Amino acid sequence: MAKRTRIAITGGAGFIGLATARSLVEEGHEVVGLDVNPDGEAALAAVGAEFINCSTSDKGGLDRAMRGVSRVVHTAAIVSDHGPMEDFIEVNVRGTRNVIDAASAAGIDGLVHLSSVASWGYEFDRPPVDSSWPRRQGVPYVDTKAASDELALRRGAAVVRPGDVYGPRSAPWSVRPLEALKRGRFILPGAGEGLMTPVYVDDLVDLVLRALWEPKAAGRAVTGFAGDPVSAADFFGYYSRMLGKDKTPTAPRPLATVAATAMELGARALRRTPEVSRTAMTFISRRAGYSTELAQTLLGWSPTVDLAEGMKRTEEWFRETGLLPAVPVS
């Protein structure tokens, strides 16, 4: 185990940030979570971590928060398929720059930036490898993750590019699909043949911590997902079966796109986030996976939770939290 030390996590009360905080506290480290969500204080306290209400736009606040810190895990970001580009730029790009600047000013030389396979976009002629540079695609989330990924690498951070992170508390890949399926508002384009690259949250945290402690990870990017890609029909089929459905609804892509457009317009009128957007259709329509070779060879990482086990744990959490009815005791 690494020497016990003080570690800062931006977005500390978020899905991945909180899971990382819990793991580090269990290892005996002193953890401080930076977050703008006031409810984050209770969540971080529950796992034994300190809370600081601080935005990545607050340079002075970041400088103060970095005092006495020896390592940083940067997870704070807007993770959404919908929203104004300027908001994504402010948080995902400028926020990343501010965190790196504050860590550098404090003399911190160990920083992990949480990126995404989305930084490569979703349309490419051949599967990218770890050394492939990010590329723009005209989608706010994709483009700003690409820009922050490139920025972090050029500044010497270790970069982790996870696949589709699911599990307890995952909004994009667990909670939102389940809720949309409940309401009959989730449709896969085509026959659901698009590929998913799932990674269970605990396996991702293991990869992040390996990158945090390995000096050779600085200035390099590693990719992590569990095994071979699976079809969207197979992935979301788990949620459908949890709801007693045989399979996830599908529709020809043009019709699915029309339905997503209608949801976007309805959500805009109500000033809400659409349950399914046209961009979301892109996210579940990729046609190739990614290499995880560097995560294995450089960091010795290997996922331990396969999709069936990960979905079993996720279903248990759904039932514990009331997102699904409790299973009757037989």
CATH code of 151's domain: 3.40.50.720
- Containing structural domain, residue 101: 6-169+198-227+288-305
Q: Quick one: pLDDT at residue 144?
A: 93
Alpha helix ranges (H) inside 5-58:
15-26, 40-46
Residue with tokens 């945290």: 205
Nearest to 236 by CA among 272, 278, 285: 285
31 occurs within a structural domain = yes
Confidence band for 164, pLDDT divided at 50, 70 and 90: very high
- Asked if residue 179 belongs to a domain, the reply is no
Q: What does the alpha-carbon distance between residue 301 and residue 290 come to, in Å, rounded to a whole number?
A: 15
Q: Is residue 222 part of a domain?
A: yes
pLDDT band with cut points at 50, 70 and 90 for residue 329: very low
pLDDT digits (tens, 9 = 90+) for 90-125: 999 999 999 999 999 999 989 999 999 988 877 665
Q: Is residue 257 part of a domain?
A: no
Q: Per the structure, how many domains does the chain have?
A: 1
The per-residue pLDDT for range 118-159, each reduced to its tens digit, is 888 776 656 666 666 556 667 888 899 999 999 999 999 999
Whether pTM > 0.85 for this model: the answer is yes
Measure the CA–CA gap between 133 and 150, rounded to whole angstroms.
Answer: 7
Domain membership of residue 281 (yes or no) is no
Q: Is residue 310 part of a domain?
A: no
What rounded mean pLDDT belongs to the chain? Answer: 89
In a domain, 87, yes or no: yes
Q: Is residue 232 part of a domain?
A: no
